[in-house]
Structure formats: structure tokens, C-alpha cells
Structure 1
């Protein structure tokens, strides 16, 4: 094969590649499976892309250990493999679980505080309702007492008026009787003392 089918890829060297997570593939000495097998590459192995053959779709790669060869480009994926990402994901999971436990603890604390506040509120509302009921009862009692006292005052005014009327009538009757009786009383004679 001529070199015209190969081209070096300097931009690919910047990105990290890996063998797909489903297979074990063979690394060949040239850009097809017609070349001798150089090594076996396990899934998830990190690779650096060096060149690509557009005709055979094979890519030239280098492992972290420095082994160079060609593999079928279908089995090359960009980024870190699942195997390489697993520790990071596990750390994230542990951190997430820790946050979840902290949040559950906060929720429990806030729920308990809410229940305590609700109990206090219910207690205060009960006291306020009891106080309102007592105040309402006292107000009704005082209103009844005012009505009763007003009736007594009205009754006293009538009694006083009637009492004065009766007293005046009695004085008038006594006056009439005396006026009629006094002239009929025998007159006393006057003594005349003439000492002279």
C-alpha cells in the first residue's frame, strides 16, 4: 500500500481514545487485517490516535505503554472508557449519597421543627379560643347584668314616681280630712285671766 492512503493526524493526538467496551481486538502491523497481528488490545484500553487510513478504515494508535499498531476504526471511541470512568462515577455516587443522607437529615430536622411549631400553634390557638370563649361568656354575662340593672332602674323610677304620687295623695287626703274636722271640733273657750 502506498503512503498516499495514510495521513498523520496531529489534532487527534490531543483527544483521548479507547477501545470500545464490548470487544477484545487485535493490533496489526499495517492498516488492515491482512497484516501480521502485533498485539491484543483489551476493551477500555486508552489509546492515542496517530493516523487514519480512509480506504481500509483502520487507524494507527499508540497505547500508554508505547506499543504502536493498527486497529479497525469501528472499535475506537472518543473519550474515556466506562472502565476508566467507573472510579470517577463511583466517587460521584458516594458524594451524591452523602448529600442525599445530609438532605434527608435536614428534611427530618425541618419536619420535626414543623411538627413542633404546628403543635405550639395548635396549643396557642386552643388558648386563644378558650380565652375568646371565656371573654364571650363574660361579655354575655355583663350584657345580661346591664339589661337587668337597666330594668331595675326603670322599675325604681316607676316605684319612686308612684311612691311620691302616693305620698302626695296621702298628704292631700290628710289635709282634706283635717280641713273638714278642725272646724267641727268644739272650740275651747278662752280663759280670760284678768288679774288686774
Structure 2
């Protein structure tokens, strides 16, 4: 595509068309020596000035080399190969970013799984602790009942022991009373025996005296 160079401002940037290499000359004409014969297609060039005709344009390369090039080799838009290269580079970066994001998502999923496992473990531990606490409460209630029962049995045993002591004391008293009675009975019998021994002979002697008279 031919350009009307004179209508463009100086220092405008244009691109070498899709031609493999374009020569850069020291003047506006093929008779001038070639300064750089290896300007590749897609290379951005800064427009410095238009030539005396529309066929030539003075430009500056990205390396700072100034020279003249045919205007037919320039275009305002980037070349298809350069656009394709940019798109390929962007696609590569997008793929790399996508891979990075996928890896990040995978890591986040792993972290979520780990957190879920930790949460499940915590819930399981909480349930076990709740069951253990309930068991402790049950055992504590049983222990309280056992202690109450033990106290009741102890009080009853003490009461029975007291009653037993009273019965033993009463039994001892009864035994003592019986012994005293037996002693009194024995003493009475002894006294009766003595009196009998004394009275009977006396009565016998008195009877004999009466007979003598």
C-alpha cells in the first residue's frame, strides 16, 4: 500500500511491510550506498522527513541509524507476521497465566480439602469429648448415688450397732439380776438349812424332857 508521506507529521512511526529484508540507503535513490541491507519486515521505523518525491522517506531505525527507504516498503499498521508474533507471545503469556491460575486453583482445592479434613477431625474430636463428658456425668451421678447409698447403709449400721450395744447391756443386766436372785435363793436355802439344823435338835430335846416328867 503506497502512502502519501507528505501528509504525515515528522517523527511518525511506521512499519516495514511483509518483505524479508529492506535496504536502507544514504540518500533518496538506488544510486546511494546501502547503509543497512538487513532491515527485517515488521521493524518499526521513525519517519524523519519526506523526500523530494513520494517514493522515498528518511527514517531512523530502533538502533538509531538514519537513512532513506522506499515508501512502498512502509505501512501504518504492524505487519501480519509481527501481529501474529505478538498474538503468539500474548497467547503464550495467557497460557502461562492460565497454567499458573490452574495450579493456584489446585493448591486452593488441596488447602480446602485439608481444611475440611481438619474441620471433620475437629468435629469428630468434639463429638468424642461430648460423649466422654456425658459418660463422666453419668459416672458422677452414679458415684453420687453410691455415696448416698453408702451413707445410708453406714447410718443404718451405726444404728444397728447402737441397738446391739443396748441389747447386750440389757442382756448383761438380766444376767446380773438372775445371778443375784440365784445367790439370794442359795443364801435363803442355806439359812433355812441352818435354822432347821438348830431348831430340830432343840425340839427333840424338849420333847424328851416332857416325856421324863
Shorter-chain TM-score above 0.5: yes
Out of 44, 61, 81, the residue aligned to residue 47 of structure 1 is: 44
Question: 2:107 matched to 1:110?
Answer: no
Unpaired stretches in structure 2, ≥5 consecutive residues: 9-14, 18-41, 51-56, 63-67, 198-213
Q: 1:3-152 maps to which residues of 2 (within 5 A)? A: 26-28=2-4, 31-32=6-7, 46-51=43-48, 60-61=58-59, 67-69=69-71, 85-152=86-153
Instruction: Name the structure 1 match of 2:176.
Output: 175
Deviation at 1:60, TM superposition (A): 4.9
Instruction: Name the structure 2 match of 1:19.
Output: none
Q: If the length of structure 2 is used for normalisation, what is the TM-score?
A: 0.52
Query: Do the aligned residues in 2 keep the contact of 1:47 with 1:61 (CA within 8 Å)?
Result: no
Deviation at 1:103, TM superposition (A): 1.5
Q: If the length of structure 1 is used for normalisation, what is the TM-score?
A: 0.56
Deviation at 1:146, TM superposition (A): 1.3
Q: 1:52 to 1:155 in 2, by over 3 A?
A: farther
Q: In 2, Cα distance between the equivalents of 1:95 and 1:76?
A: 28
Query: Do the aligned residues in 2 keep the contact of 1:49 with 1:62 (CA within 8 Å)?
Result: yes
Q: In 2, Cα distance between the equivalents of 1:109 and 1:175?
A: 96
Give 1 or 2: higher helix fraction: 2
Structure 1, residues 41-79: CA drift from partner, whole Å, max 9, x if none? 77xx542114268xxxxx954689x83449xxxx699xx
**Relative to structure 2, which stretch is displaced further, 134-143 or 116-125?**
116-125
Deviation at 1:144, TM superposition (A): 1.2
Query: Do the aligned residues in 2 keep the contact of 1:51 with 1:61 (CA within 8 Å)?
Result: yes
Deviation at 1:116, TM superposition (A): 2.3
Deviation at 1:92, TM superposition (A): 1.1
Query: Do the aligned residues in 2 keep the contact of 1:60 with 1:69 (CA within 8 Å)?
Result: no
- Partner-residue secondary structure (3-state), 1:145: helix
Structure 1, residues 106-155: CA drift from partner, whole Å, max 9, x if none? 22222222222222222222222222222221122112111211221122
Structure 1, residues 75-100: CA drift from partner, whole Å, max 9, x if none? 699xxx86653222211100011011
